[in-house]
Amino acid sequence: MTIRTFAIIVCLLSLSVSPAIAGDETTPYKQGAGITIDHEPFIRQTFDLAISSGKHGNHTFGALLVHQGKVVLTAENTVNTDANCTHHAETNLVSKAKRELSAGVIRESTLYASTEPCSLCCAAMYYVGFKRVVYGVSSKGLAKLTGWHDEGLSCNEFYRYKGGQIDWIGPVLEEEGVKVFRYMPKKN
Ligand SMILES: [Zn+2]
């Protein structure tokens, strides 16, 4: 077995068990219902990043960071091109943020993800100090399309277990978001 084949198998196993459950504490998103921030343009940008990721041969997920209404960082999934199943769009974004931004900016920022982040990404977000996430496609929507099941702790549960708190908002534009999975590479 080659290293690449091994990495792909580990990655698929990780994905089959790691996506976070959309717990009861997820804040449902409804456009215009007292929402002061328009999340939709940012979520659409994460879908574009997810499509770009698929075109580069990686899983179709994208993420970006918004601070004071402006996109300050973007990231794609790179699990295949890096042969590393931990290189999700969100973990790549969190790593960039840790390198390039202050703790204060991270705390004030909102992480947007094309799909509800998994447990691995939740842990990374917690340890780097993120406080707010908005996602496009739900874990349930992802499971329906790909068979990657919802198991493990939700992000809310994980944060609470660690004594923290996170705003968890979604799904946003889910019907539009599931279309990005057409760009998923044939061999994952
Ligand atoms: Zn993840």
Q: What predicted TM-score, i.e. pTM, was given to this entire model?
A: 0.84
Cα(11) to ligand 1 centroid in Å equals 11
Calculate the average pLDDT of the chain: 85
Cα(100) to ligand 1 centroid in Å equals 21
pLDDT for residue 131 is more than 60: yes
Surrounding residues of ion ligand 1, Cβ less than 5 A:
88, 118, 120-121
pLDDT for residue 115 is more than 70: yes
Q: Annotated catalytic residue: which of 90, 100, 175, 176?
A: 90
pLDDT for residue 86 is more than 50: yes
pLDDT for residue 34 is more than 70: no
With both helix axes pointing from N to C terminus, report the angle between 89-100 and 119-128 in degrees, rounded to the nearest 10: 10
pLDDT for residue 31 is more than 90: no
Give the closest residue to 51 by CA, choosing from 141, 153, 185.
185
Cα(160) to ligand 1 centroid in Å equals 19
* Distance separating alpha carbons of residues 140 and 162, to the nearest angstrom: 25
> What number is the average pLDDT over the span 44-68?
97
| Percent of the chain whose pLDDT exceeds 90 | 67
Is residue 151 very low, low, confident or very high in pLDDT (cuts 50, 70, 90)?
low
Phi and psi (nearest 5°) for 130? Answer: -75, 145
Cis preceding-peptide flag for 117 (omega within 30 of 0): no
Is residue 62 very low, low, confident or very high in pLDDT (cuts 50, 70, 90)?
very high
23 with 157: CB under 8 angstroms? Answer: yes
Cα(121) to ligand 1 centroid in Å equals 4
Cα(163) to ligand 1 centroid in Å equals 21
Q: CA–CA distance from 126 to each of 83, 97, 129, 157, 164 (Å)? A: 25, 13, 5, 12, 8
Answer yes or no: 90 catalytic.
Answer: yes
